[in-house]
Amino acid sequence: MSATLSAHLPALQVVLPLIAAPFCVILRKSAAAWFIALVFSWVSLGISIMLLEQVLTHGPISYLLGSWPAPWGIEYKVDKLSAFIMLIVTSIGSITMIFAPKSVNLEIPKDRVYLFYTMYLLTFAGLLGITITGDAFNLFVFLEISSLSSYVLISLGSERNALTAALRYLILGTVGATFYIIGVGLMYQMTGTLNIADLAERLPEVAETRTILVALGFVTVGIGLKLGLFPLHVWLPNAYAYAPSVVTAFLAATATKVAVYMLLRVYFTIFGTDIFAALPIDEFLLVLGLIAIVTMSGVAIYQNNAKRLLAYSSVAQVGYMVIGISMVTATGLTATILHLFNHAMIKGALFLALAAVFYRIKSVKIDDMAGLGKEMPYTMAAFVVGGFSLVGVPLTVGFISKWYLILGALEKGWWPVAALILFSSLLAVIYFWKVIEVAYFKPRPESADTVSDVPLSMLIPLWVLVGANIFFGTNSNLTVSTAMGAAKALIGGAP
Amino acid sequence: MNNHSVLRVVSKFMIPYILLFALYVQFHGDFGPGGGFQAGVIFAAAFILYGLIYGIENARKVLPATATRILLALGVILYAGVGFAGIYFGGNYLDYNVLAATATGGQHLGIFLVEFGVGTTVAATMVTIFFVFSGQDF
């Protein structure tokens, strides 16, 4: 049985969380829904580890849904890149689910908690679906599944502003998805196929036509909106700031990563690097990325809400990933793919630490965090390590990705770019120091209640992520070799 | 609208035919235009008409929130369950060929069940949306 089941892992990866969601709706009990979400997250993590192993030993896997042959039916395709992204999504999901129950019960009204887990499972399934599918239209469907359910997740936030934030994300997200599907429609018009591998084969013939270039533009803007690419990021800070803490941690660590994956897929698998000669979208991305890392890190300095601060920092981090893409070299892409993983670990840890802070003091305003260094030592220590990693201090994962990014920039002889990357890291030190200064060097105000650290069920998942920051910062072989392999596969072996 | 006797009589007369037509669209989807989505919407229209004429409270008595919620989930589970049956009988996920003795029979059975799942979920969703919106005090 195990041998037969292992052949169906690609389908199970998406279908199991998808089928778990309606069971949460039927049961309607918070604890039962949580248990289902937890179990299925961990099962998915197991599946993605097995898939990564299969891909690393036997090469890409193709799975035909309904046994319809590939260009006509929907094909699921797992290669190094998608297996790696699925590993990111499932590991973050599994860890947040351990952390979730206490935080969720505090922030979400009791009768809606089951909805949170249902929507979480749907988002999870949608993100995995985007990553695994080998069909451009099917990708759109999963994009909508994950987006619609994440709008609901954000709107579950306890402040009324969460509704406005979710509505704004809904409008911009829908525009993004529509642009993507218009782009896919134009490609379909020229090639008559929706299968990604098939598209890649047929596109070069018509690559110079205006229709295809317009399609490239539409797809770029559409994915850019989902990605939070500067200047299309306006929905992101509010959505992250007002969503329930656990939701922010999960979405910040996974949703934008999957959008970057879409960008990589579209540029390098479907269009191929030659398209940049016809439409220099790489230079365009480079400029946007550079503006993002400098201005958004600058804006982050002036935030008083720690969640908003990290949200702006996320927009800046997306800038790093986009700069990696714009290099169009194996090193640049390695840096991007590495940063997908590393940033997921960093932001996952930081937002979970903030969720723990909110659990105790009911606020994530920086001023209210005064003196927390003494009162919640383990949580704040986790925040500090996460911050070091975000800045890129050696021995943390943040250093590894910045190292490869600067290496890529120097390979191309882009000295100013390397300098700007370092400069924006300095800005990260400044906005990070703001939080640390308040938490460690200001006394707790007399009027505030004394608080203790959060329970172990929250501290352990938090520290697992922090540990991952240090572990993969010192043993980067697995992540670097997988990212390099994926980058080389994307760029077609060329240096 | 409780006191419009024409509406009450006509709607009572029409509702069974709307339901019947929905089932026709559902089950004839194999051979003609139709299918789960359309059938689900038509099926829900009957309940929505009933709710408009006789009031939401009465409509909720016919189809309580618990029932719509369970139906809503069961449709999805049926769809995915057919997919798993494909794996169980030795095909790929959602492979209908292996569901019956012949491939054609399997395709018939598979699409029939899957569309029935779609119809159930769509009908329950439509009714739920109507109930939720009309139940709110603006």
Residue A11's nearest CA partner among A47, A57, A54, A58 is A47
CA distances (Å), origin A295, targets A298, A301, A317, A326, A420: 5, 10, 12, 19, 11
Q: Is residue A158 one of the residues assigned to a domain?
A: no
| Euclidean distance between CA atoms B25 and A226, whole angstroms | 38
Quickly count: other Cβ atoms within 10 Å of residue A181's Cβ. 21
| Euclidean distance between CA atoms A93 and A87, whole angstroms | 10
Q: Could you read off the pLDDT of A312-366 as tens digits, one per residue?
A: 999 999 999 999 999 888 899 999 999 999 999 999 999 999 999 999 888 888 8
Q: Could you read off the pLDDT of A219-232 as tens digits, one per residue?
A: 999 999 998 888 89
| Euclidean distance between CA atoms B6 and A292, whole angstroms | 65
- Angle, CA A45 vertex, CA A478 and CA A489 arms, to 5°: 45
Q: Is residue A384 one of the residues assigned to a domain?
A: yes
Q: How far is CA A72 from the centre of its chain?
A: 30
Q: Across the interface, which of A26, A66, A67 has its CB nearest the CB of B73?
A: A26
Chain B residues with CB inside 8 Å of A61's CB? none
Question: For residue A3, what pLDDT band results from cuts at 50, 70 and 90?
Answer: low
CB-CB under 8 Å, B94 with A22: no
Q: To the nearest whole number, what is the mean pLDDT of chain A?
A: 89
pLDDT at A1 over 50: no
Ordered DSSP codes for A392-451: T-TTSHHHHHHHHHHHHHHHTT-HHHHHHHHHHHHHHHHHHHHHHHHHHHSPPPTTSPP-
Tell whether B77 is within 8 A of chain A (Cβ). yes
Total of domains in chain A = 1
Q: Could you read off the pLDDT of A189-225 as tens digits, one per residue?
A: 989 889 988 888 888 888 888 899 999 999 999 999 9
* The predicted structure's pLDDT at residue B136: 66
| Euclidean distance between CA atoms A125 and A114, whole angstroms | 17
Is A450:A313 a contact under the CB 8 Å cutoff? no
pLDDT at A392 over 80: yes
CA distances (Å), origin A472, targets A82, A183, A355: 19, 37, 23
The β-bridge partners of A135 are A195
* The predicted structure's pLDDT at residue A473: 87
| Euclidean distance between CA atoms A248 and A240, whole angstroms | 5
CA distances (Å), origin A199, targets A120, A143, A268: 32, 19, 12
Residue span of the structural domain in which A472 resides = 280-495
Quickly count: other Cβ atoms within 10 Å of residue A144's Cβ. 16
Ordered DSSP codes for A207-244: TTSHHHHHHHHHHHHHHHHHHT-TTS-TTHHHHHHHS-
CB-CB under 8 Å, A63 with B77: no
Q: Residue A191 has what DSSP assignment?
A: H
Q: Is residue A376 one of the residues assigned to a domain?
A: yes
Decide: pTM greater than 0.90: yes
Name every residue in A having a CB less than 8 A away from some CB of B. Answer: 4-5, 8, 11-12, 15, 18-19, 21-23, 25-26, 28, 63-67
Q: Is residue A462 one of the residues assigned to a domain?
A: yes
| Euclidean distance between CA atoms A240 and A308, whole angstroms | 7
Provide the shortest C-alpha distance from residue A64 to chain B (in Å): 7
Q: Residue A369 has what DSSP assignment?
A: G
Provide the shortest C-alpha distance from residue A19 to chain B (in Å): 6
CA distances (Å), origin B27, targets B21, B24, B87: 10, 5, 25
The size of chain B, in residues, is 138
Q: Which two tokens stand for residue A205?
A: 């013939």
Q: Is residue A224 one of the residues assigned to a domain?
A: no
List of chain B residues with pLDDT < 70: 1-2, 136-138
Q: Is residue A417 one of the residues assigned to a domain?
A: yes
The β-bridge partners of A195 are A135
Average pLDDT over residues A134-147: 93
CB-CB under 8 Å, A22 with B72: yes
CB-CB under 8 Å, A11 with B87: yes
pLDDT at A494 over 60: no
| Euclidean distance between CA atoms B37 and B39, whole angstroms | 5
Residue A212's φ and ψ, nearest 5 degrees, are: -70, -40
Q: Is residue A110 one of the residues assigned to a domain?
A: no
Q: Across the interface, which of A25, A28, A66 has its CB nearest the CB of B92?
A: A66
Q: Is residue A455 one of the residues assigned to a domain?
A: yes
Residue B76's nearest CA partner among B39, B40, B122 is B122
In A8-78, alpha helices (H): 9-27, 30-58
Ordered DSSP codes for B67-105: HHHHHHHHHHHHHHHHHHHHHHTTS-TT--GGGSSSHHH
Residue A122's nearest CA partner among A257, A190, A20 is A20
Q: Could you read off the pLDDT of A447-475 as tens digits, one per residue?
A: 777 788 888 888 899 999 999 998 988 88
Q: Which two tokens stand for residue B3?
A: 């006191």
- Angle, CA A309 vertex, CA A303 and CA A311 arms, to 5°: 135
CB-CB under 8 Å, A25 with B77: no
| Euclidean distance between CA atoms B70 and B63, whole angstroms | 11
| Euclidean distance between CA atoms A111 and A107, whole angstroms | 12
* The predicted structure's pLDDT at residue B61: 87
Tell whether B17 is within 8 A of chain A (Cβ). no
Average pLDDT over residues A159-169: 91
Size of interface A-B (CB pairs under 8 A): 52
Q: Could you read off the pLDDT of A249-298 as tens digits, one per residue?
A: 999 999 999 999 999 999 888 888 888 888 888 889 999 999 999 999 99
Q: Biggest alpha carbon distance in chain A?
A: 72
Chain A residues with CB inside 8 Å of B69's CB? 25-26, 28
Chain B residues with CB inside 8 Å of A65's CB? 92-94
Tell whether B97 is within 8 A of chain A (Cβ). yes
Q: Could you read off the pLDDT of A64-88 as tens digits, one per residue?
A: 888 888 888 889 999 889 999 999 9
Ordered DSSP codes for A79-106: -HHHHHHHHHHHHHHHHHHHHHHHHHHH
Is A104:A163 a contact under the CB 8 Å cutoff? no
| Euclidean distance between CA atoms A405 and A339, whole angstroms | 9
Q: Could you read off the pLDDT of A8-49 as tens digits, one per residue?
A: 888 889 999 999 999 998 988 888 999 999 999 999 999 999
Q: Residue A296 has what DSSP assignment?
A: I
Q: Which two tokens stand for residue B48?
A: 């929505």
Quickly count: other Cβ atoms within 10 Å of residue B21's Cβ. 17
Is A310:A350 a contact under the CB 8 Å cutoff? yes
Residue A386's φ and ψ, nearest 5 degrees, are: -60, -40
H-helix or E-strand containing A78? strand A75-78
Q: Could you read off the pLDDT of A423-444 as tens digits, one per residue?
A: 999 999 999 888 888 888 888 8
